[in-house]
Structure 1
Amino acid sequence: MSLSLRLRRSADPGPHQHGGPIRVDARTKNLTKRLRPGDVAVIDHVDLDRVSAEALAALRPAAVVNAAASISGRYPNLGPEILLGAGIPLLDGVGQEAVAALKEGDVGVVEGNTLLVRGQVAATGTRQDADTVREAMEAARAGLAVQLEAFAGNTMEYLKRERDLLLDGVGVPEIRTRLEGRHALIVVRGYHYLEDLQALRHYIREYRPVLLGVDGGADALLEAGHQPDLIVGDMDSVSDRALRCGAEVVVHAYRDGRAPGLERVRDLGIEPVVFPATGTSEDVAMLLADDKGATLIVAVGTHATLVEFLDKGRAGMASTFLTRLRVGGKLVDAKGVNRLYRSRISGVSLFGALGVALLALLAALQSTPGGQVLLQVAWARWDDLTSWVTGLFT
């Protein structure tokens, strides 16, 4: 038996263990870029949100180890339920010191409340199950009032900082992409974005909206077979392929002008537009579409419910909430468009058009000698066919 085969067998977890190569990253969305099925995902994510959990679950890790509390009790976040529902073990609250000592690529095994590396206990936490998650969710729901009070205070602070932008559009940069009088489809790689894009394919083909990808939303558009017209974001989760696709790029910068993603875009030979603003890139994209005259803004994968706002954290809630108040007259969720949208060509009209075309063809054939001969041959063949069918039954 080869040495590599013996090592693999010795590292195989037992029937009640879950293990594989360790992948460590404090930012969950960075980790998912290199996570593979069977790996042990090690994260540091307080209140694991739905989008992050769905991204992890889709990659089928052997287990997820969280340095922080996956449910802190601030609000009833949905991430832990999603992981457990997918059959992925969740070891919670192991601490940042234990995570810092782990080495990328080492084989880790989750056994009970512990993470073992080379047979030694590397971290200890709380193994979550359906009962512990249910209890934590009930406690979190009881504390929602506190979070809403914090949200109200944060909303006022954001309004003071960005009232000129929200009320008068001061600070919105000029772009070359024309949105005046057109629909804008804003895609965020968030809640059910794949299903929404699939459901909107007829709408996109018929109305040809301006396709605006927010960071990784540009990759989502490409994966669905669409060409983005605009890419907006801080450029932390969009691929080089998307940035090079020919779309106009708008880099979301901090209010003081700092833009961490600007250098990366320029290194690709692209000169972007810079949009300094407080809030999220999702909000910046909506404000940009509204200011430039889009008649309708269709949102894919964005946040719409109270729990989804809370999933962004209190700091992100205020900008999201106020932005939706600002563009509310134009904003439609993708699911609403899918339910209300019908093709402008009805079935009756389609059959009527086919009938008219057939009559026009028959009239054209009847008006020429060659066409008359062709019609006579066609009628003869039809008579032969009807006679043959009649003969089968007589």
Structure 2
Amino acid sequence: MLDIAAELHRWCEEGRDFAVATVVATGGSAPRQPGAALAVDTGGGAVGSVSGGCVEGAVYELCQQVLETGETVRESFGYSDEDAFATGLTCGGSMDILITPVRAADPARPVYAAALAAAAAGRPTALVRITAGPAALLGRTLLVRPDGSHAGTLAGPGVTDAAALDATAARLAGAMLDAGRTGTAAIGADGSRCGAPLELLVESGLEPPRMIVFGAIDFAGALVRIGKYLGYHVTLCDARPVFATPQRFPDADEVVVEWPHRYLDATEVDSRTVLCVLTHDAKFDIPLLERALRLPVAYVGAMGSRRTHLDRLARLREAGVGELELARLRSPIGLDLGARTPEETALSIAAEIVADRRGGSGVPLTGAHTPIHHDGEPLSGAGRFGSVA
């Protein structure tokens, strides 16, 4: 539900009662992953999605029922030849969905409100919920902060050591938050790995990943726009003040006038950061890429012709960059879409970033035997580095 935190935070601020349906388990070709959510308020308003349309109607009705009863429920939606159209999951997948009321008078409301406020503001937070176990514990909620402190409780009837249960869940959630991972885990109801099992869904809310675009050229403007659309915090950096201006790049979160390698030395990056080098000028590219290829970032791509690419590799080798580091470089940047315009080129670059992040091959789905949705997507969105293009 943290993926729709901004809207739900507003609902909390307005005092609305609502129910949240959250995907907690999937199988086969399910369209959404654990953590995806649909919320419905008492006025019938809705935000989010759990299936991309397959079972939205049935889940919407369940949310309305839960708002009336105040009871958390877990429902399964599956596929078979007989009931494909009855359930709506004609894609061939299956999913379990937890539907939880979040009403003003509910004890867990402040916990949800705090988690949504933090996520909406871009502050790291983890939300832990019991998704399987004794009925009396279903939907119990714990908020975990990066410093290990927590609010709320997972404890309820039948739990003999509430402090131990919450402490164990908080440590688990803290590790998943640190990795940027959303997913499920099992612990014992007494806080150990033994005892009656509880299934937990841990949702990690992190600030948006960074995209840093180097080079204030026309292609950069289109890439900045598509980067924002994909949810990145986008920085445009160029050493030339006449070109690097907020007026030329109004969609960028920030425009920095600095030599690219100096800015990269001074700024913070992580395993979700993507670096797009569009300058194709050796005096900028080489010192920048020499540093970039040694950083634990998700993606490093550089624009230029194949001749430029070969010259760039030779210069980087002369600078002492090793072959394993060079193998991380996506150059020429982007997938082969036959792109010509800045917008088409930006789409090509964005497609490669998404494929790298999600484990996609980049081949057409028509006639292919590759999965549509790749499992095991990552902990923090960290990409896989492929061979040199």
More helix by share: 1
More strand by share: 2
Larger CA Rg, structure 1 vs 2: 1
- The TM-score, its normalising length taken from structure 2, stands at 0.22
- The TM-score, its normalising length taken from structure 1, stands at 0.22
